[in-house]
Amino acid sequence: MKPRRVGIYSGTFDPVHAGHIAFALQAAKAASLDMVYLMPERQPRGKDSVTHYAHRVAMIRRATEPYQKLAVLESEDKQFTVTHTWPRLEKEFAGSTLVYVCGSDVLRHMAGWQHVQQLLARSELCIGRRQQDSSRDIQQALAALPEPPIRSYCIESLAPSISSSSIRIALSERRSVKGLLASVRAYAKREWLYIKHG
């Protein structure tokens, strides 16, 4: 049986951390989602060096395994786009309502996305407030969109200050840090990820 309400949470996830998982679970509850799929981008925009896609997928798979409503979704596209990725998702989840799940930092740039109207006209948005953004900032970003989404949900993130960059630094220095998942730590150690060379 296909899920009726599906959350799509795209990003780099380098690596996935407790903040990502907490937000995905919050989104599932707030937007009444049957499933939330974390969908890593193969070649994220504006990032020259990212961990190999297969490693990021593997870490998400391990991080989401304990949660019935969370899973990883692999896309053949290099980056998430409204013109190519979204139609494929609509076909894959035909008959389901799609909800685009993102942080407020992503929302701030959404008005500039090519053909964003297609996304807004056919899906709902679930937005998590990041530490640097106020509720007013989110409302202004929503107002700046070329048209309002079908419906939007705004969530106060439980872990707004956790970042993948701080996790990478901690792993490179072989120390613990807030938000580092045990499954990610174990996988990164086994695969020698995020270790400084030279």
Nearest partner of 99 among 113, 86, 117, judged by Cα? 86
How far CA 26 is from CA of 7, 66, 152, 157, in Å, comes to 11, 15, 14, 8
- The share of the chain scoring above pLDDT 90, in percent, equals 88
Cβ proximity of 116 and 148 under 8 Å: no
pLDDT in tens, 45-66: 888 889 999 999 999 999 999 9
Q: Is residue 196 part of a domain?
A: no
pLDDT given at position 69? 97
Q: What is the CATH number of the domain that holds 119?
A: 3.40.50.620
Q: How confident is the model at residue 77 (pLDDT cuts 50, 70, 90)?
A: very high
Q: Is residue 69 part of a domain?
A: yes
Q: Is residue 198 part of a domain?
A: no
Q: Is residue 175 part of a domain?
A: yes
pLDDT given at position 161? 84
Residue 81 amino acid letter: T
Q: Is residue 129 part of a domain?
A: yes
Q: Is residue 9 part of a domain?
A: yes
Residue 197 amino acid letter: H
**Structural domain range at position 166:** 5-191
Residue 198 has pLDDT above 60, yes or no: no
What CA–CA distance (Å, rounded) separates 8 from 118? 15
Q: Is residue 197 part of a domain?
A: no
Cβ proximity of 65 and 59 under 8 Å: no
Domain count, the chain: 1
pLDDT given at position 197? 62
pLDDT given at position 1? 63
pLDDT in tens, 135-176: 999 999 999 999 999 999 999 988 888 999 999 999 999 999
pLDDT in tens, 102-125: 999 999 999 999 999 999 999 999
